[in-house]
A and B are shown apart, each in its own frame.
Chain A
Amino acid sequence: MSQKKYWQNLGELKNTEGYQKLVKDEFQEDLPFAEDGKGILDAKAPRRDFLKYLGFSTAAAALAAGCETPVTKSIPYLNQPENLTPGVAQYYATTFVAEGDVVPVIAKVRDGRPIKLEGNPLSFINTKGEGTSARVQASVLDLYDTGRLRYPVEVAGKELKEMPSFEAADKKIAGELSGTQVVLLTSTLNSPTTRQIISEFLAKYPGSRHVQYDAVSYSGLLLANEMSYGKKAIPTYHFDKAKVIVSLDADFLGTWLSPDEFTSQYAAGRKINQKNPEMSKHIQFEAVLSLTGANADDRYLHRPSETGAVVLNLLAKLGGTVSAPAIADEKLKKGIDQAAGLLAANKGAALVVCGSNDPNIQVLVNAINELLGANGTTINWANPLLTRQGIDGEMDQLVKDLNAGSVGALLVYEANPVYNYHNAADFIKGLQKVKLSVSFSDRADETSALCKYIIPHHHYLESWGDAEGRTGFFSLLQPTISPLFKTRYFQTSLLNWTGNNTDYEDYFKNYWVTKLAGQGAFDKALQDGVVEPAALTFAATAYNGDAVGDVASKLNTGAPAGKTELVLYQKVSIGSGAVANNPWLQEMPDPITRATWDNYAIISYAMAAELGIKLDDQYEVEFHKPVVAFTINGKEVKLPILAVPGVHPNVIGVALGYGRSEGAGRAANGVGYNAYPLVSAKGGARQYYVTDVTDYKKTKDTYDIAYTQTHNQYEGRVEVVREYALDEFKKNPEAIPQYREELAEDFAKKTGDFRAEATLYPVYESPGAHWGMSIDLNACTGCGACTIACMAENNVPVVGKNEVKRSHEMHWLRIDRYFASYRDNTEGDNLNVVFMPMLCQHCDNAPCENVCPVSATNHSSEGLNQMAYNRCIGTRYCANNCPFKVRRFNWADYTGADSFPDNQHHNGVGKLDDAVLMMNEDLTRMVLNPDVTIRSRGVIEKCSFCVQRLQDAKLEAKKSQDASVIRDVKTACMQACSAGAIVFGNVNDKESRVYKIRTQEQNQRAYYALEHIHVLPNINYLAKIRNTGRPVGVKDEFAGKKAVSPEVHH
């Protein structure tokens, strides 16, 4: 036998001690935590066993290989780009801009693809936080929207003819433009460079003008502010500075002006400091239950046509010299008295906001705020908002001019009046009279399809640019990816047609380098993403109350006449409808109705009874809802209904933003009903309500509405939801700790440790990290941004309406919404609404884990309940045994990750909607987070506490040998929450926020859902506190009665 020895290095040859250690630790490196676990190479099965089992695994592999797996190619870089490590994310500061909205964001870019957005914490617009709205979270998907145009087109009838090049397009269009009067129709534009380019452009074509048009108008507010303050602008509001907030029809937490900023401010006033429990008081007056109304402490119902009367009464009660019409409704009257009393007592810390688009009403609201001393305290005129500037009259004038034939050319950017102008027919007629019409829309939407040319604009994540969300608050856009398609800046087109051959990119850079005086400052600004003052300033502005008397008499018109009225509202997810082709948003359950993929008529329980619709078990468990024929403005409109508590008995609500055309995209096409034609124009101001609903009757038809929550009450199950009135909580702050002590006495007599005494199985320590989360039900507004953030971060599949209808939605995180009325009064002002974010509770004594036959779900040493997707065989036993029902099963091949190729196209049962197929296009799949496995058909998935982020943080901590890195780790939901309701961390770390909340800061409110069944969740909730004198919860029914007897659940 040969004595030769092969060696790779000297260490191996000499077999030194250091080398042996190196071999042993090759793959094993401990975290900075103290740990004495065994290395992987100490495991009992030695490597040579490999051969022994090889035969078997070969056979098994041959068996599995029978199923062909689709081949996907990945192509490596030919030249490694500088500063880019494949697999390591890069972050760019940019700005979300859409229809005037401005949100500075940080885009996470992986391997050249932006995949996730977070708020830019340097910006005051984000209240210096990372929270964003669902729409901002979802906007990254719009970049990869298959509905986008891929090149400039000439529209010929229904056909879209590709134009060979931009030069060719320029030549054609510039020729047609010369010497005409141009109207540039856009949504609100607040980009300083763009505004400058527009003014240069308009100067080139004398007689031209720029019309700003907002899909949902704030014209009333702008005009009223002009009358009251001499400024056609919108101030910034500071809900955090208000002890009393009164909102009249304004859904400021959901859709009104700047909801994510307001949510953050609002939550600041709602969070309880348990040493001195105080919180703001919020009273909502509205007709149909909104997200904001659902969060209010007290809520009063009125018809939309009564808003004027309510405002007049409030103003009169507060000492305004106006005569107010009598209010017939006793409850409403009481509400106005209550609101007036509280407002008067909190002058300087009170705020009244109103969602009406009637300038007269807004003038009165200004008068009220003036009496309350809000001007300069809760209403700040230092840096007015620039996100809505459209004036209804200007748009109406444009439509007139178009029809008169006095417009030579119409250029449309980010506006879609064919879809969302209330009198679209007139607009279309006018549009057809214009010789040249050019759209810069990214798709062949309703308006673009009727224009002559479409020169698609870049997506904001592909663009340079700037935005001025508030006067003096600038944020910059920088591209995070090179344009995916042959698209061009709309600004470049204008520059070109002005005769300026600069590209917008250079124009923008020159502008900012000049403005900031230097390349260095510009680079810094790009890096920060924002150019804002160092501190917020507060300023009042001169008030002029002259108009009050005049408008008061206009509004004092007596009681409403019509039988029933209609409110047109926006959904938190879809808003005005511009984002209708975003499947994430379409599938996001509405916070109130929990419905997806549709709009419908919201009616009260009383109206349902009147229509003969029984709201019984049957109504609850069946998707097909009765279709009701409403006669609105003399026209019959058939809509499916959903009965919602807390809706005025004489009011129905219909959401705007649905009923898009085919050109909007495959997901938007045919979803819902377009309610914009129902918008009425009263005295030149668009009104989002109709007083003239003369008749309604149930038809024989039914319509399927796909909603994700069937049952609305929590059935007195206080172990699930705990809520108290503020006074009650102050009186008895130890109620929850006491309950928990009693439980411990019953179930863990010896040691007080549930874990040790409540399980048959061995108890393992988690010596390093033990992850935990705390969710404050008081701060959570239910906006649902976290659900979309979770989808984006974790590649949660979209399943489409057809599958949601079959309870197959995949959301890892959902917001349970309970209507908790005191003693079954579901109709009136006693309605309490609870929003409860529900996700995997990562139980330490998890019922899902011990029932899995193959241990596919198991517990990590860090307290995570983890899923080994590869191991899962899909028995669904874990889902059945999960008391929180957070486990989601892949019922079909939603992701294209199945072992069976081409099995998404089938008819009959479980047919997948086009939206699902769209989500599986190569283009759309670019949004997927490469750090998270795509789950295949037949496996269970669920919240992982964003384990990829935790691993990342641990690696970072290991590299830097600094455990505090782990303290900063955030889950996607936590990061997206503007309200700061979610706190995540390592509970073994005594310095962590979550540990402090549980044990010191909020221990009086901390409870675990279903604590009595001893699953030992790692998520705790903080009880909901309502600042109201009304009775709250179900306390007296269950007082003194324990929910469970000790012997039952072990």
Chain B
Amino acid sequence: MSLTKYESFVREPLVDGDKTYSKVTEDIVYTIEARPTRLWYIGLYISLALLLFGVYSIYREVTYGVGQWNLGKTVGWGWDITNFVWWIGIGHAGTLISAILLLFRQGWRTGVNRAAEAMTIFAVMAAGQFPIWHMGRVWLAFFVMPYPNTRGPLWPNFNSPLLWDVFAISTYFTLSLLFWYSGLIPDVATIRDRAKTKFRKLFYGIASFGWTGSTKHWQRHESLSLVLAGLCTPLVLSVHTIVSFDFATSIVPGWHTTIFPPYFVAGAVFSGFAMVQTLMLITRKVMNLQDYITIGHIEAMNKVIVLTGSIVGCAYLTELFMAWYGANVYEYDAFFRYRLAGPYGWSYWIMMTCNVVSPQLFWFKKLRRNIEFTFIMSVVVNVGMWFERFVIIVTSIFRDYLPSSWSLYYRPSIFEIGFYLGTFGLFFTCYFLFSKYFPVIAIWEIKHVLKTSGENYKAKMEDLEKISAEEFYARTHQH
């Protein structure tokens, strides 16, 4: 397909193929209205099975104690908090795509923002499980809430980063959910309008909050989107900053590091985008949405990955430099003796390879646009990011100040693994249900870009192509 005269060399079309408004609706709503495929059922059942294993693992932990996990006197946080930070990181891409990219007017976000936002919400839900269930007495978890009480009143400790976490994450979750849901309303209304069964009509009717598509509705909707985007933007940066405070404000060598906030945010975006890639590549294939999630989208996200991966790499090296330059033996030992080497040395090098070395391959355009390679890389990056959190958490505390308390080798118990798998179950169960019952691509936003993109748009330009450049200039500048 050769480029026509007035088509950009730099900007690829955001939608491929000959699309009309009704075709867009058909393409996207098709999966919601048709019977689910076999593949969907298999996926859902596997996810449910994982979720059940997770529920059993938590049951064991709540009934018999945190001793069901292989943590000990020195390593008090292991897989639990590693997974928490990992999932929270993943939950960063959605809001970044929808809020920050909206503010920056990045048109390409339309193809991926809905699924990415859904993913954010599910990832935050998965993440939230860990700080809750890692508590020794989870039935008293409400103690962290600042509510008036008859114990004095006794307030939570506002100095504690864990308390900041409670606020940061709940705020983030609430706003992300609102943002996602408000974006869904026009599309839900579309489905409602097409619905043929009573139940469907009722369900989507309630879910669409009486949306009629009036200009006033659209105007309010636009304003709301902008306000929420404005509110979400600082949150994208603040949530992981505050999560990093859990470590940065402590005195443990390897945790006590001022570089953590930016480093954590970059890492979060890095892993979030990788997760979006993983999901999108599968979704577009399974649901036949290649025209909406184009190779251009994939490349754009790969660029974000190589950028944030490099920032993260820079942070790793800065940490090492400071550990040496700071001349603090405790910090030096934590990094050079027990992180780069020592029993967990392997995890450090997995992290380095996955997060710093391999994303550099995305400097090659060919690889950026290669779907299989992107898929593999997206998984590799998330493996790397999991190890990053493991390295930070476990390899810092397993050998800290007093050598007498240095830890034994920490490996997870079956129920720690089960809990992690359970959150995968939760995440994918939610994602499968979402992809079945809600449009995975924002229909109204695609229609919005369709005015300037797609074969249909090109067809409309045909007569423009025929005329001479001067005439074209005159026509387009006649006002």
Contacts and interface: CB of A to CB of B under 8 A. Distances in A.
Interface of A: 43, 45, 49-50, 52-54, 56-57, 60, 63-64, 67, 617-618, 620-623, 709-717, 720, 761, 803, 806-809, 814, 816-818, 836, 838, 847, 850-855, 871-877, 879-881, 883-885, 887-893, 898-900, 903, 906, 908-910, 936-940, 1009-1010, 1013, 1015, 1042-1045, 1047-1049
Contacts of A900: 63
Given A854-B144, A873-B144, A892-B65, A621 B407 contact: yes
A50 B405 CA distance: 46
Interface stretch (B4-12, B73-81, B209-217): B73-81
B459 interface: no
Interface string B241-281: 00000100111100010000000000000000000000000
B149 interface: yes
Most A Cβ at <10 Å: residue of B69, B152, B405, B407:
B405
Interface stretch (B377-385, B394-402, B436-444, B464-472): B394-402
15 contacts: A45-B150, A711-B406, A803-B67, A808-B72, A816-B405, A851-B161, A885-B405, A889-B76, A891-B67, A892-B64, A903-B63, A910-B413, A1013-B251, A1015-B251, A1049-B251
A494 B134 CA distance: 61
B67 A854 contact: no
Nearest to B164: A853
A27 to B, nearest CB: 15
Contact of B343 (A617, A713, A940, A1043): A617
Contacts of B152: 43, 45
B73 A853 contact: no
B159 A807 contact: no
Interface string B336-355: 00000011000000000000
B331 A1048 contact: yes
Given A854-B156, A889-B136, A1044 B330 contact: yes
9 pairs of A and B residues whose beta carbons are closest in the complex: A874-B136, A938-B136, A807-B72, A891-B67, A816-B404, A885-B405, A876-B76, A892-B67, A938-B137
A50 B148 CA distance: 11
Interface stretch (B24-32, B177-185, B200-208, B321-329): B321-329
A891 B149 contact: no
A57 B399 CA distance: 43
A621 B343 contact: yes
B175 interface: no
Nearest to A50: B150
Contacts of B150: 45, 49-50, 53-54, 57
Contacts of B68: 909-910
A807 B408 contact: yes
Interface string B401-420: 11111111100011100000
Contacts of A906: 63-64
Most A Cβ at <10 Å: residue of B68, B157, B256:
B157
A838 B406 contact: no
Contact of B73 (A43, A711, A885): A885
Interface residues of B, number: 74
Given A874-B66, A1048-B331, A710 B408 contact: yes
B406 A875 contact: no
Contacts of B331: 1048
Nearest to B345: A617
B154 interface: yes
B67 A879 contact: no
B404 A711 contact: yes
A618 B343 contact: yes
A915 to B, nearest CB: 16
A855 B154 contact: yes
A720 B402 contact: yes
Given A847-B250, A910-B65, A1048-B326, A874 B408 contact: no
A809 B66 CA distance: 14
Most A Cβ at <10 Å: residue of B66, B138, B162, B399:
B66
Contacts of B392: none
A851 B160 contact: yes
A888 B147 contact: no
B453 to A, nearest CB: 49
A617 B342 contact: yes
Most B Cβ at <10 Å: residue of A52, A838, A879, A880:
A880
Nearest to B160: A853
A890 B249 CA distance: 25
Given A808-B73, A817-B404, A885-B400, A877 B160 contact: yes
Contact of A881 (B74, B252, B413): B252
Interface in B125-163: 131, 134-144, 147-150, 152-157, 159-163
Report whether over half of chain A's contact residues are helix, strand or loop; otherwise say mixed. Answer: loop
A1043 B329 CA distance: 6
B333 interface: yes
A684 to B, nearest CB: 45
A880 to B, nearest CB: 5
A874 B249 CA distance: 19
B149 A709 contact: no
Contacts of B435: none
B401 A1010 contact: yes
B318 to A, nearest CB: 15
B136 A56 contact: no
Contacts of B401: 717, 720, 883-885, 1010, 1013
B166 interface: yes
A622 B401 CA distance: 20
Nearest to B73: A807
B70 interface: yes
A994 B399 CA distance: 32
Given A620-B406, A892-B65, 8 more contacts: A717-B329, A873-B144, A880-B77, A889-B73, A898-B65, A910-B64, A938-B65, A939-B137
Contact of A621 (B77, B160, B256, B408): B408
B400 A883 contact: yes
Given A854-B156, A874-B136, A622 B408 contact: yes
Most A Cβ at <10 Å: residue of B137, B397, B407:
B137
B334 to A, nearest CB: 12
Contacts of B69: 909
Contacts of B256: 1048-1049
Given A49-B150, A711-B404, A855 B156 contact: yes
Nearest to B331: A1048
B143 A854 contact: yes
B63 A885 contact: no
Most B Cβ at <10 Å: residue of A720, A938, A1049:
A938
A818 B404 contact: yes
B139 A64 contact: yes
A886 B144 CA distance: 24
B413 A873 contact: no
Most A Cβ at <10 Å: residue of B162, B402, B413:
B402
Nearest to B159: A850
Nearest to A910: B67
Contacts of A908: 414
B363 to A, nearest CB: 36
A874 B135 contact: yes
A884 B143 CA distance: 27
B407 A853 contact: no
Interface in B43-100: 60, 63-77
Nearest to A709: B404
A799 to B, nearest CB: 9
Contact of A855 (B149, B157, B250, B329): B157
A853 B143 CA distance: 9
Contact of B136 (A712, A873, A909): A873
A853 B157 contact: yes
Nearest to A803: B67
A892 B69 CA distance: 10
B164 to A, nearest CB: 9
A712 B64 CA distance: 33
Given A720-B401, A891-B65, A873 B135 contact: yes
